[in-house]
Structure 1
Amino acid sequence: MMNNAPLFFETSMLDAWLEEDVGFFDLTSTLLDVGNRPARISWVARQPMTLACTEEVARMVRQRGGSVSLCLPSGQRVEPGTVAVVAQGDAQPLLDCWKVGQNLLEYACGVATRTRTMVDAAARANPGVGILTTRKHPPGLRRVVQKAALAGGAFPHRLGLSETVLVFPQHRALMPGGWAELRKALDVHRPHLVEKKIVIEADTYEDACEAARCGADVIQFDKVEPAQLAQWCPLLRAEWPSLGLLAAGGIRQHNVAEYAASGVDALVTSSLYFGPPADVGVNVTAMGA
């Protein structure tokens, strides 16, 4: 499964990426007087990978005046030697997009490939478990990482503070009345939350029960071991059958199968954002060569 969502990227964002690299002009191609020569450029997978953000590379080329003759979709799995994007035109617009496009593809495809590996491993242990990705990435990368994670088969956990109600222990620390004060606040505003889920984070069974009594729709367990979750999940479901259960914190490729089999509904992770980039090569040739 791939989720090739048409994630929105502003044209100004793509232009800003190019501006950061191009600066005022390309000194090398100007000295060599090659910018006006007709050329072809291609971005090529050098290893097995899941593609992501190919569409944004194609858009950058078009914004610079080049034309695109091939663009494989985000989410497609490819083998080494597969050409992902091909463009033609005057050499300078293509050279302007060369390294920016390569950097974007290497990072995004790296995330998408790790995501696909984790999604597949989780599905083997529990076909019904979801993989959800967090906001824990460097600022400015949200659209890239979410498109890449979607391409790999995951979905976003929470795209921003205004999207969902997620009560952390840090919030409860500001409420001297404890669980009673939290329950009162949620009860007051529950009519306004008919379209929202109330998620409360817990790291003990006792806190999970308190959260459920407060009216939580979902309990998010933070850094709880799979074996412990396997004991708690049946107990919680017996008392609150409709309660959703998430595992978060420390979920990586080596333990995703254990977490998937623990009884939770979905796994929340940020580990997919960090790791080696995918290996993407770039070929530039003169037209007719």
Structure 2
Amino acid sequence: MIDRDLSRVVEHALAEDLGLVGDLTTQVTVSAEVTGTAYLTARVPGVLSGARAVDATFAAVDPHVQVDWQRHDGDTLGAGDTIAIFSGRAASILTGERVALNLIGHLSGIATRTRGFVDLVAGTDTRIVDTRKTTPGLRSLEKRAVVDGGGVNHRFGLHDAILVKDNHIGLGGGLEAVLARLATHTGHLVRVEVEVDTLDQLAVVLKHDAVRLEEHSAPVVHAVLLDNMTPAQVAEGVALVRAHPAAVVVEVSGGVDETTVRDLALAGADVISIGALTHSVTCLDLGLDLHPAKREL
């Protein structure tokens, strides 16, 4: 899926930038015969993601531009590190520069922030995961960037898992009614997660499946999401889940940041999902400096 999405993203980004007539500035100021070498460098420390987006951009602009990668997706970058060396027609490098930098800077920003959260929970068994709070059209690329940063992907979309949230419960007639409907309509291959706002709701979920197990029926819920709970509440919820007769994943979410993530991990969360990995990321500061080489004969 990522290759198809990447082609579409690059196509739309270049069309947006070039319009119907192309790069007017470069056409006027730079001779088509000028070649050069450009160096992509990190201006600040971070984690790299998006090399394939750069390759796809220049392949679309001019397949004769050569890209020699010195660093690879998932690598830690230091300020001043050379990431890639480009060689070819200077005009082509200039034309593809902004789209390439926009994509790799954005994706590297996601990878960098993800790595920061992963480092903060080091030594625990907690995994850092993303959410569906992604930029429209960029989801597969952004989720790949989370992986490059050491995180794990949550469900990709509405189509590949069931996540029952408070609005589903409210509009579905209440928690017990929704659980009954899930038991009737979900198959054995569909993963089900239920979000709870209180420990009382968690107890209802666990009791529902405990009764099913006593009746020799399969449990309905595979994971619970403890939403906006304190570390103390998470620890209490984890204890309830661990006493349950079936294995249930404990996910924690809601307003998690760098100051709270470790305490939530130490409380026993299996998974901490963080929307800010993708919806509030700062672009990693990368630069592309072009040096003319020679005129073609």
- Normalised to the residue count of structure 2, the TM-score between the two structures is 0.88
Higher mean C-alpha displacement, 55-64 vs 45-54 = 55-64
**8 A contact 1:51–1:109 mirrored in 2:** yes
Which of 128, 152, 162 is 1:131 aligned to?
128
How far is the alpha carbon of 1:239 from its aligned partner? Answer: 2.8
* 2:52 maps to 1:55: yes
Aligned equivalents of 2:147 and 2:102: distance in 1? 19
Partner of 2:172: 175
Aligned residue in 1 for 2:183: 187
Moved more, 218-227 or 19-28: 19-28
Number of matched residues? 279
The answer as to 2:263 corresponding to 1:258 is yes
Corresponding residue of 2:76: 77
Specify which of 25, 31, 35 is matched with residue 34 of structure 1. Answer: 31
Partner of 1:68: 66
Give the gaps of 5 or more residues in structure 2.
210-219
Pick one of 160, 163, 185 that aligns with 1:163: 160
Q: Choose the corresponding residue for 2:241, options 236, 255, 258.
A: 236
Query: Which amino acid in 1 is paired with 2:42?
Result: A
Q: Does residue 17 in structure 1 map to residue 24 in structure 2?
A: no
The answer to whether the 8 Å contact 1:29/1:35 transfers is: no
Local SS of the residue matching 1:123: coil
What RMSD over aligned residues (CA atoms) do the two structures have, in Å? 1.9
Q: 2:197 aligns with which of 194, 203, 211?
A: 203
1:222-251: CA deviation from partner (whole Å, max 9, x where unpaired): 111112111221123113451211101111
Q: Which of 143, 148, 152 is the equivalent residue of 1:146?
A: 143
Q: Does the 8 Å contact 2:41/2:81 carry over to 1?
A: yes
Aligned partner letter, 1:206: D
Alignment partner, residue 279 of structure 1? 285
Q: Where do residues 116-127 of structure 1 align in structure 2 (5 Å cutoff)?
A: 116-124=115-123, 126=124
Alpha-carbon offset, residue 179 of structure 1: 3.1
For the Cα contact (< 8 Å) 1:134–1:270, is it kept in 2?
yes
In 1: Cα distance, 2:50 partner to 2:74 partner: 9
Q: CA separation in 1, counterparts of 2:172 and 2:29?
A: 67
Which whole-Å deviations, capped at 9, do the CAs of 1:62-96 have from their partners, x for residues lacking one?
A: 22223324123211112112121222211222111
1:3 aligned partner: none
Paired with 2:29 and 2:175, the residues of 1 have a C-alpha distance of: 70
Structure 1 position 152, deviation (Å):
0.1
1:94-109 aligned within 5 A: 94-109=93-108
Q: Which amino acid aligns with 2:201?
A: D
Q: 1:288 deviation in Å?
A: 5.3
Q: CA deviation at 1:100?
A: 1.1
Q: Secondary structure at the match of 1:35?
A: coil
Task: State the one-letter code of the partner of 2:15.
Answer: E
Q: Which amino acid aligns with 2:225?
A: Q
The CA deviation at 1:10 is 4.0
**Separation in 2, partners of 1:101, 1:10:** 12
Q: Deviations over 1:102-142 (max 9, x none)?
A: 12122111111110010111123x1x111110011232221
Aligned structure 1 segments of 4 or more residues deviating by more than 3 angstroms: none
